[in-house]
Structure 1
Amino acid sequence: MNDDTPTVAVFRPNDDRLDAAVDLLESLGAEPVADPMLAVEPTDATPRTDADYVVLTSKTGAGLVADAGWDPDDAIVCAIGPATADALRDVGYAVDLVPEEFTSSGLVAALRDEARIDGARVEVARSDHGSPVLLDGLADAGAYVHETVLYRLVRPEGSGESAELAADGALDAACFTSSLTVEHFLEAAAARGVRQDALAGLRDATVGAIGDPTRGTAESQGIGVDVVPEAATFEALARGTIDALRSADGSGR
């Protein structure tokens, strides 16, 4: 660890989420490396209006449907995770269901418990990189599923500062918040000609992944994961990663 202030890469989109992540890491005594790996390109699509259930999976989606004036009518509105639920409520939507497990499989399990899910129309409104687990799980439960892509997620131009730091051995930790942040990190590293060195640098760093799908993607690319928090929130990820980093440093890592 660099002196007493660890250098920690954070890959949140360049909006209030990145600002909040930087503030949190600073409050935990870390030096954040703000390296956004996701940029939003809206498609201008809106969810269908004839669904029994509508599933929103992100704060970004909540903002886009609100900006478009979408009306859920009598549909049961579902959110994956408290952050998405809070974002929907902040823009005036009632949220009827938030699963205990903030994942696609957790939502499938919660909806399967609904007596009417078999044969129900379920609209899933999200990014173009949503997990097939949600659609397949709902279909397996007997639902008629339709997906609306609200926005595309692309790698921002100029990303990759954290990859160069990792390649130089100057990155103490990284907090990956989705499979796509892992993929874009490696793309940015390759674009800068440091992919293999960045992978080597991550082996000497503490790596956090927000959930099992993100961990799976990282490990499939040769990135060892040290931390997966119980709660799939950035705060839990950041705190867990910093704690693991300091424990490893104290044990002579």
Structure 2
Amino acid sequence: MTQQVRVAVFRPDDDRLASAVELLESLGATPVPDPMLAVEPTGNLPGGAAYVVLTSKTGAELLSTAGWSPGGTTLVCIGPATADAARAAGWSVDRVPDEYSSAGLVELLRDEVAGERVAVARSDHGSDVLLDGLREAGADVSETVLYRLTLPEGAGGSTVSAAGGELEGVCFTSSLTVENFLTAATERGIRDEAVVGLNDAVVGAIGEPTRATAESHGIDVDAVPDRATFEALACLVVERAAPTYHD
């Protein structure tokens, strides 16, 4: 009899969660969906700049809905999902870094933005790495908060599963998903038990910043994919968590 591989996923409750569940099922895992992020748009739009940097699919979609257009600016997207959303809006994407992270964006632009205005449009939980790195490269940087990320009401069922040893894997897709997971566990009075349960499972982090956040809270991270995409993360976690996996 094949052992069940239950994997918690924390993506926002929209098409991203649906596609994540579908992917995990296709990999033979049993998804445990528990959205840890809710999107609250601010209505803000980036002003004129030589470069506009988008760091999420959500940001691109919100700008498209608001009728914003990049015009003649150089449009930079953090990764393929963001770039696909931008192209779906009818925009031309000029640049995508090889590494889908704030550090990757800085590496991509550092040699060309001195003296240029760069507008970074993102959530209220963006990393300072991007702003500081671009400023150190000589850019005139502005930040536009397109949306706030909050903990959805009722989130945290997966913390109970973790505390009860009922998860074989988890997929953390940002530092905020780690923090919100722990907040939800704390609200239930089971934070320590949930962390113990995570450390008995295969914990996946989408990138090094997410790994660092998890480990700073005593969570052992077992899997970080080479490419910062959910597909790569899910495949790696399921591979490690499956009974047939051998280290």
TM-score range, shorter chain: over 0.9
Alignment of 1:74-223 (within 5 A): 74-114=72-112, 117-223=113-219
For the residues of structure 1 that align with 2:199 and 2:128, how far apart are their CA atoms? 30
For the residues of structure 1 that align with 2:111 and 2:241, how far apart are their CA atoms? 39
Letter in structure 1 aligned against 2:209 = P
Letter in structure 2 aligned against 1:145 = V
Cα offset for 1:73? 1.7
Q: Deviations over 1:198-235 (max 9, x none)?
A: 01101100000000000000000000000000000000
- Runs of 4+ in structure 1 deviating by more than 3 angstroms, as ranges, are none
For the residues of structure 1 that align with 2:133 and 2:28, how far apart are their CA atoms? 41
For the residues of structure 2 that align with 1:85 and 1:231, how far apart are their CA atoms? 15
Cα offset for 1:87? 0.5
Q: Secondary structure at the match of 2:242?
A: helix
For the residues of structure 2 that align with 1:208 and 1:250, how far apart are their CA atoms? 15
TM-score in terms of structure 1 length: 0.95
Q: Secondary structure at the match of 1:244?
A: helix
Gapped regions of structure 1 (runs ≥ 5): none
- Figure out how many residues of one structure are paired with residues of the other and give that number: 247
Cα offset for 1:113? 3.2
Q: Deviations over 1:157-186 (max 9, x none)?
A: 001111000101111110000000000000
Letter in structure 1 aligned against 2:74 = I
Cα offset for 1:3? 5.0
Cα offset for 1:192? 1.0
Gapped regions of structure 2 (runs ≥ 5): none
Larger CA deviation: 68-77 vs 129-138: 68-77
Cα offset for 1:71? 2.1
Q: Deviations over 1:48-103 (max 9, x none)?
A: 1x200000011100011011111222110000000000010011111000011111
**Are 1:33 and 2:32 an aligned pair?**
yes
Cα offset for 1:246? 2.3
Cα offset for 1:14? 0.2
Question: C-alpha root-mean-square deviation of aligned residues, in Å?
Answer: 1.3
For the residues of structure 1 that align with 2:156 and 2:70, how far apart are their CA atoms? 39
Cα offset for 1:141? 0.1
Letter in structure 1 aligned against 2:23 = L
TM-score in terms of structure 2 length: 0.97
For the residues of structure 2 that align with 1:100 and 1:210, how far apart are their CA atoms? 15
For the residues of structure 2 that align with 1:27 and 1:3, how far apart are their CA atoms? 15
Structure 1 match to 2:63 = 65
Letter in structure 2 aligned against 1:81 = G
Q: Secondary structure at the match of 2:76?
A: strand
Larger CA deviation: 2-11 vs 68-77: 2-11
Are 2:37 and 2:152, in contact at CA under 8 Å, matched by a contact in 1?
yes
Q: Secondary structure at the match of 2:135?
A: helix
For the residues of structure 2 that align with 1:67 and 1:17, how far apart are their CA atoms? 18
Are 2:51 and 2:117, in contact at CA under 8 Å, matched by a contact in 1?
yes
Letter in structure 2 aligned against 1:177 = T
Letter in structure 2 aligned against 1:35 = D
For the residues of structure 2 that align with 1:239 and 1:204, how far apart are their CA atoms? 19
* Identity over aligned pairs, percent: 62
For the residues of structure 2 that align with 1:14 and 1:206, how far apart are their CA atoms? 23
